[in-house]
Amino acid sequence: MAWTHTRARIARAIRDNPSADVTDLRRQLRAERLEEHIKTVVNQAPPLTAEQRQQLARVLASNHTDSATALASGNVA
């Protein structure tokens, strides 16, 4: 759980300076938690096909709005 270290860094920064800008740390925390979740899901699932891996890589490489729209529509190209 590498993300717990980042969570502690956020808490420390806010404790030391309540008006501290922790935007980058929060972004890092979300990415670390997402990475952990993805690893858990991938480890529990059967092996992906090459096409499925490419599709998921495109979703992760696209920007947030495009990813959400593509996933919601089932149109991940």
* pLDDT value at residue 71: 55
Query: Buried b / exposed e across 9-33, counting CB within 10 Å, b at 16+?
Result: eeeeeeeeeeeeebeebeebbeebb
pLDDT at 51: 96
pLDDT for res 1 = 74
Overall pTM surpassing 0.85 (yes/no): no
- What is the chain's pLDDT, residue by residue, as a tens digit (77 residues)? 789 999 999 999 999 999 999 999 999 999 999 999 999 998 999 999 999 999 989 988 987 665 556 555 555 44
In the chain, where the domains are located: 1-45, 47-77
**pLDDT value of position 67:** 53
